[in-house]
Chains A and B, each alone.
Chain A
Amino acid sequence: MHNAKCTCWNCPAIDLAGKVDFRACGQSTKQFVKAADDTEETRIMGECKRRPELGLFDPMDMTFAECTEYAPGPYGYMLRDMRVMILGIDGYLGWTLALWLGSLGCKVSGVDNYNRREWVKERGAQTIVPISRMNERLRAAREVLGLNIDFRQIDIYSERDRFKEFVDEVKPESIVHYAECPSAPFSMIDVEHAIKVQENNVLGTLATLFTMRDVVPETSMVKLGTMGEYGTPLTGRPIFEGLFPADAVLQWEGREWSLGGEIVPRDPASFYHVSKVQDTFNCYEACKYWWLRSYDVMQGVIFGVDTDQVSADPRLRTRLDIDEWFGTVINRFVAQAVAGIPLTLYGMGRQIRGFIALRDAMECMTRLICSPPEPGQYAVVNQVSGIYSTRELAYIVAKTGREHFGLDVQIQRVENPRVEADEHPFEAIYERLPKEFGFAPQVALEDEVRKMFELFLTDEVRARIEERRQVIMPKTWWSGVKREVERLELLDLQGEIEEDERMFKINR
């Protein structure tokens, strides 16, 4: 199992008590430097919050596999009844993860400020998969899955004192931070929206970091970043996982420097992406200053509707947005196919991105929650299960719609409202989750797309798509212009895809 050899040093139940130098009968209750890499001259002492009877011990000595508080599960050794707090629990990912973790035996708590519901409403849109008010969602989780989710309506930034009280009350062993505005177009509407996104994301994360420092410093944070932080380097430089690998070298004027371990360059593509980059640095610094531990999850573009839990009952479904602000590309393509709108490629439509299905994303998150980083460690994973060009995706959706559901799906190129390269090389590295955390993608893109069609073609969802079909086409331009994009051409997709595969290395 991938985390069998992790030790109490990684475990959030450890209370790091101090550093002792027994050679000089000396102690420090403030300094924690990993002892395993030195000559045993000093020792870190820890106490287990779950097993106080162990007294003080060397946290590097006991593995998860040896500890009675851990049990083997499908995603690695996991703390029994692990307390996980989900920030943004009302969202597409947050709600799905809450049910997923609860079904694995975690004690789930969560907060949300319902901003997402308001923002979608502001666009005149709605989640096409209907969701209830939180009280009803919680009741359904209790009735259908037997889960008791401890929820509070809290804004983690503006109500940070209340948030701190809640964290202190729950003492979560992992905090999953999904409480961010996930929309690039929303951040580009105007100055008010750009500020709103930065305030919600950057200041919310900052408030979370300070809360963790003060209340639960041993808790690990699993924070949602985005592959979009990296941009798409036109040189074709690989997109590493957050930090340069150990053997990366910078050469300049005949001289060389190691880049190993340094944060890789960021090239965000909207003020939303900038907020994520700022988060990255805030998390990185907090780990450095306060010995917090954090995974920054650079998630590819998410898609899909299915996990065992959200599919178990209509009342448990997670939200799904298809509007120009909050709909992700595959979700929007399927909705367009159902609504009879030609699938929209921006510009050349040769943007290449990493993608991951909802179910696979839940599995990755669980594996990360099970295996916290070491104290002081800021670690990054690229959470991606496949690489596709948007043309290729459009083709797959169109083909699935035509062949399996008898829909007449067309594809169009439209003006690109964004400032981005719409034709570029792309080599993303996403090795850590498979190699270090045992993740293997379970969801085939075509299968998930089929499930989406099945759901979207139900009477209720189809009607909700029709009701809001006018909000699918983009009207928000990075330049500030507000007008609907115009069609450039209808495509012969098969020919285009073959060309793409010749031009670019596609890491499927």
Chain B
Amino acid sequence: MPHTRVLLEEGIFRQMRSTVPEISSVAWSSMITGTNPGVHGIFGFMDLFEGSYRMRFPNFRDLRAEPFWREWPGESVIINVPSTYPVEPMEGVHISGFVSVDMARSVHPAGLLDKLTEMDYRLDVDSQKAHSSMALFLSDLNKTLEARIRASRYLWDHVDWRTFMLVFTGTDRLMHFLWNAYEDERHVHHDFFLDHFRRIDEAVGEFCARMNDTDLLVMHSDHGFERLDWDIQINHVLKEAGFLAFEAGEEEVLRNIHPTSRAFALEPGRVYVHRRGKYPRGCVDDEADTIMADLEQVFSRLEVEGRKVIRDVYRAEDIYSGPQVEHGPDLVLVGAEGFNLRATMKARVLAERGIFTGKHTQDNAFLLVRPCGGEADLPEWPEISEVRTIIETMNPALAGVCGRRYA
């Protein structure tokens, strides 16, 4: 990846912490708002309607903090940022990313739709194809990437932008499905894996070449990746330890939770104390602290094949602050190396293996900054919600809005 290597030489590289949990909806919401989930209100891909066990999928309308493009001066081009669907009017162009379900509501301004269609723009690769044909999925992955690059090139040239943000998400899908291909040089898709990254590197080179010397360039990921050894079912742990039960004979879904249940978990490792008044069948009053302490013990001791399963158990107050904290989980678990956390209600076993071979990591995302002149002072191990402030600090044009979220 020669173009990225040049940037590494010219810029400042940092290993970066993702959010807790380390998933795209939370991480990107933190990045674009420069806040933590306690402020922006996005704690996961799924959440519950208040006062119920009904599952909802938070989207851009649920974001409780302002994305940078509403506050920075000038027009922005925002392409494929996860969890920004449906788009809303803004200065510039916004094409939302995963999860985007309706093209018409994924593009602002609407007049751009025809052009994007003409360019065969795809909101996302159809991941279900991987289950029927990996070859078809990979072909789709490439087509999606090429269309994204075409659209970006067009918008680069045709919009008078001040901020340009492009997210490549195909790498994430690729690593979920084919991390084993990356590790195994003899794997039939090993070369495809590397070629996909090379193609992105070419695009990076192309756009870097179009930049002015005074432009600030920031490249970063929203999390890291590693090999997935085991899927760990958190709700199975809760059931086995007596914290969670369902009505006898009923389907094991949250609406059938037994009223004596003291905790339940949502994907990926969010644990909620089943509080009275907050949930229809909640039973926990004053003993929430004791329950959390007990849960910390249970999860800290969890082992599979002699390996510790949980790297960290965080209490909400340790990682979140702000008005939305009450809507978030009480505990958030981060898996140890190789352990991917799941929260399937119907889980019958603690550890299982599925079709995925790669999983997100929380502590080794990356941040690469090529300053627009002079030296830059970056934190040693930044967190993704700091990226926005770093940009505002380093870009003289944004001096007026610098540090706003920490004031």
Contacts and interface: CB of A to CB of B under 8 A. Distances in A.
Chains A and B belong together in one complex: yes
Interface of A: 17-31, 36, 39-41, 43, 45, 47, 54-58, 61-62, 66
Contact of B356 (A20, A24, A31, A47): A24
16 contacts: A17-B102, A23-B356, A25-B127, A25-B172, A25-B176, A26-B124, A26-B173, A28-B127, A29-B102, A30-B126, A36-B253, A39-B347, A40-B346, A56-B59, A57-B55, A61-B255
B267 interface: yes
Contacts of B353: none
A20 B176 contact: no
A18 B101 contact: yes
Contact of A26 (B54, B127, B255, B345): B127
Contacts of A36: 251, 253
B154 interface: no
A30 B176 CA distance: 21
B54 A62 contact: yes
B370 interface: no
A58 B124 contact: no
A19 B124 CA distance: 12
Contacts of A62: 54
A21 B99 contact: no
B199 interface: no
A20 B342 CA distance: 15
Interface residues of B, number: 46
B344 to A, nearest CB: 5
Contact of B55 (A21, A26, A61): A61
Nearest to B235: A40
A31 B251 CA distance: 24
A466 to B, nearest CB: 62
Interface stretch (B45-53, B71-79, B113-121, B295-303): B45-53
B56 interface: yes
Q: Main SS of the interface on chain A?
A: mixed
A293 B295 CA distance: 45
A394 to B, nearest CB: 51
B98 interface: yes
B58 interface: yes
Contact of B176 (A18, A24, A58): A24
Nearest to A62: B54
B285 interface: no
B171 to A, nearest CB: 10
Contacts of B56: 54-58
Contacts of A40: 344-346
A47 to B, nearest CB: 8
B183 interface: no
* CB-CB nearest 6 A-B residue pairs: A26-B127, A17-B101, A58-B55, A24-B176, A28-B128, A61-B54
Nearest to A23: B356
A19 B173 CA distance: 15
B125 A58 contact: no
Contacts of A27: 98-101, 124, 126-127
Nearest to A63: B255
B99 A20 contact: yes
Given A21-B128, A45-B101, A61-B53, 14 more contacts: A22-B267, A23-B354, A25-B24, A25-B82, A27-B127, A29-B126, A30-B126, A36-B251, A43-B55, A43-B57, A56-B99, A57-B55, A58-B46, A62-B54
